Structure 1
Amino acid sequence: MFGLALVSGRIVALIVVAVAVVIWLLVQVRKKIPFGFADDFGTSYVLKTKDSRKAYETYRELKEKHSREGMVVSRVFPDRLSRRYGLKGTAFLWLSYEKTENSIDPSDLEKLEFLIHDFISSHKGAVVLLDGVEYLILQNSFESALKFLQSLNDRIILNMAALIIPLDPASVEKKELSLLERELDIYQVDYRLMRFFE
């Protein structure tokens, strides 16, 4: 009888520990997904991920939830993005050397900053998705891209806008990632955990 009570007590203790671990994991996952719990405007978010789908979903959800205007700057052709993610009412800038109505020379960071600033200053609280920071770094330099992001972040703050930047951490050096982390809010996106808790 005493042995059975001892085993039962251990089982209860294991269950309590297991529940505590699950609760802790849920809290950690929530911390890693920015817009699941906070809608801070005047903030620039970097989502560390190899797959930019979560950034586009976050952009669309934030834009629709708050009825805000939005802009997407990307290496992907605008028509393809619009179809793939259902981005209605979105202004697009295509990072390309090709000359089209919506294209922007990726080496002209000054013009890119001007166009984004013009958009967010005329649409208070706008949501901007910048997908292609790795490409901007390749076409310019990390230092130039960092200065661009620092200046853009200041403009995002002053205009109470939101900037979402998907970034593959493997595409930049550790030191460069540390510099980005000092300037912007960084979140790790783990699709395996996200799918488990959705």
Structure 2
Amino acid sequence: MAEYELSIPLGVEDVRRLRAKDAVYVTGEVLTVRDMAYERILKALDSHAALPFSLQDKAIWHAGPITKQEGPKWRPVAVGSTTSSRFTGPAARLIEKMGVKMVIGKGFMGPQALEAFQKYGAVYAHTTGGTAAYYASQIPEIQGVHWLDLGMPAAVWVLKVKRLGPLIVAMDSHGRNIFDELQSRVDDSLDRIFQDLKIDPAHKYLWWP
């Protein structure tokens, strides 16, 4: 496991050197994208409509920030990740079509995302749950917000982050996926436990009327 300081925009070489389980700290522009924002972005892509922001060589964060407006500016109060598994397909499309280089989120993502990470050179960086206030302290400035009509958590927030992290590379551009690796170790351990205790894994030990 290595540790890296990354600056956005990210180049392909920045991404390709990362390996699963590496720790990274990210500095630069990160945009939040979740359910309704994904839907609007993909509709724009399908209709060849212009977007008010660029994702080329950027990082997107599956998060719904809580912010406070102070005069003309916004201040982050809490920014924590939402579950990323449901964005597997949409994230893969943004990597392919818009040049996203890093997805930040929580929980596993599916094979379609891993394939996109490999093919186009991107990574999935995992946050720690329950640390939304801590991550907010690593955002010195909110540079802008788009589509506030979707609601505060669902809008696209343009965050200026400074050493956001530590984030763990959960899925890299070389095909490694720490969630699959962990599941494999768990399955192996269960097999040994069942053998040691002479438990039949196929037998149903619970009864329910």
Compare relative contact order (CA 8 Å, sep 6+) and give the higher one, 1 or 2. Answer: 1
Higher helix share: 1
Higher Cα Rg: structure 1 or 2? 1
Q: What is the TM-score of this pair, normalised by structure 1?
A: 0.29
Q: What is the TM-score of this pair, normalised by structure 2?
A: 0.28
